[in-house]
Every structure is written in structure tokens, then in C-alpha cells.
Amino acid sequence: MGERSKLSLRNCCLILFSVLTISSTTAFDYGDALMKSLLYFESQRSGRLPYNQRVTWRDHSGLTDGLEQGVDLVGGYYDAGDHVKFGLPMAFTVTMLSWSVIEYRDQIADAGELEHALEAIKWGTDYFIKAHTSPNVLWAEVGDGDTDHYCWQRPEDMTTSRQAYKIDEKNPGSDLAGETAAAMASASIVFKKTNPHYSHLLLHHAQELFEFGDKYRGKYDGSIGVVKSYYASVSGFMDELLWAALWLYEATDKEDYYLKYVINKAHCFGGIGWAISEFSWDVKYAGVQVLASM
């Protein structure tokens, strides 16, 4: 998280995506790397853990998240081995997990890890459904980075703040809304054949979040100041809106709306006039270019 050197969710997901793109003809055991990458996500789970939890030294935690605000925010993933749930990198993680399954579903299945990959995605999207409490409200963070970094303890024993923060019409966050829309749209593709009802639900949330982010534009770190020290939106929100629109096009095939949106906004929103040297939880232009080229 932030300047910390610990392996974070977003980095683990990029490693997972990289593992799946490397040829299996080398001497390295990439199946083992895939298994361990997915196992990492189980160790980062927040909430009430399922019976088939493989990381047995973890237990239920964060069971009152959202209680003070009158919402159910139990679940999701902790960030970087800490106890804060940051919405932007968590959503990017789920988008990348979903993209991995979309591109390499058969290979992941052959490695015996498809069910674990689907569980990792759904653990995140179940939380996003909870966090999207109304069309123009999305809960962005649970916990406080400052107090969390003052101590080192298990999430099962945490006594630090579980304050929750949201974006809404008066406090916009187009980057967060856009990335969460991308996560849910890409996940809807993953579950389209195996769980069509859930896929439809995810797509509904994705469409609402995209409309919210596009209509009420602004950077989420301008609305939620406490996130600036950890996951500031340096690149702004235009890349996330393009990213979300492309994933919604992939999920719906609506050329006259989502693809047209990207074509019409691509120049003024940036990302096509220069070489992009980064693809991360903050900067999505490279991903937009790859999806558009495909």
C-alpha cells in the first residue's frame, strides 16, 4: 500500500495476468505460481469466511463494517496485507482477474484453478453489489490508512477505525465509479454462461455506475481526502470512463452507445496521442488501447 514494499492485491493480480501470458514450455512451474497467486486472494478476504476457505489461519473479521453508517459493507478484500478496504485498487484487481479468465479460461481450467479464480472474482463483486447502495451512491473505503499503519495486528483482532466513506452526486468520483463499473461488466462476461442471473445483476450495477460516473464528474480523491496519501487518482477519471465504456461494450455489444462513447471521447479524454508507459490501478489508457485494438 502506498510506499510500502509489501505485495498488494493489485500487484498480485498483475503477476497472475503475466503468469498466464508466459509460455508453458519453460521449465518453471507456472501452474504452481497460478495456484499461489489465487491463494493470496483468500488470505486477503474480509468478512465471514466460507467453509471451503483454504487459508485456515485466517478467520472471520470486519463483521461490523458499515454498521455505523447503517449499511452492510461486510466482505471484500483488505489491501496489501493491511486492514483498509480501498475501492479503486480493489475494483482494478477484480477487473484484471476477470480479464484473465476471459482470455485464459481454458488454460486456467486445465490447471485446475478455474473454480478458485471464479471465487476470487465473486468475492469482490459481491462486495461491490453491497457497496453500490443506490444508483448514485458507492461506498469507496472502509477503514483509515493512518491509524491502520500505526499498528501491526491480525484483522481478526483489529481495533482501528472502520469509518466508511462514499461518493455520491454531491461528492463525485468518476474514476472509482468507472473502475467499479469495469469490474462488474467484465465479471458479468465471466459468469454469463455459468450463472446468468448473477451476470445480469452485475451488468445492471455496471450500467448504473457508468451513468453515475459520467453524469457527475470528478475525481474521487477530491471528495474523499483521506485517500490521497494512499491511492490518489493522479491520472484523473477520463481513462476510467473510457475503460468502463469498453468493458460495457464487451458485455452488451451496444455499438451505438458504449463503443460510440469511446470513439467520440477518445481524443478529448486522452490516451491516444502519445505512448503510454504505465498500466496500473491508476492509469488505464494502455488497457483501453489494447481492448480497442482487439
Please report the pLDDT score of residue 152 as a whole number. 84
Which pLDDT belongs to residue 2? 42
Q: How many domains does the chain have?
A: 1
The mean pLDDT of 91-98, rounded to a whole number, is: 98
Q: For 245-294, how does the pLDDT look when each residue is reduced to its tens digit (9 = 90+)?
A: 999 999 998 888 999 999 999 889 987 777 788 999 999 999 999 999 98
**Mean of pLDDT values over 100-111:** 96
In a domain, 210, yes or no: yes
Residue 198 is assigned to a structural domain of this protein? yes
In a domain, 119, yes or no: yes
pLDDT-derived band at 25 (thresholds 50, 70, 90) equals low
Place of cell 509460455: 23
CATH of residue 169's domain is: 1.50.10.10
Q: Is residue 22 part of a domain?
A: no
How high is the mean pLDDT of the chain? 91
Q: Is residue 11 part of a domain?
A: no
Cα-Cα end-to-end distance for the chain:
32
Residues with Cβ within 8 Å of 196's Cβ and at least 6 positions away in sequence, in order, are none
The whole-model pTM stands at: 0.90
Convert the pLDDT of each residue in 13-24 to its tens digit.
666 666 565 544
51 lies in some domain: yes
Asked if residue 170 is part of any domain, the answer here is yes
Identity of the amino acid at 184: M
CA distance 105 to 150: 41
- For residue 212, give the C-alpha cell: 453515475
- Is residue 49 in some structural domain? yes
- Domain with 110, as residue range(s), is 30-292
- Whether residue 88 is predicted with pLDDT greater than 90 in this model: the reply is yes
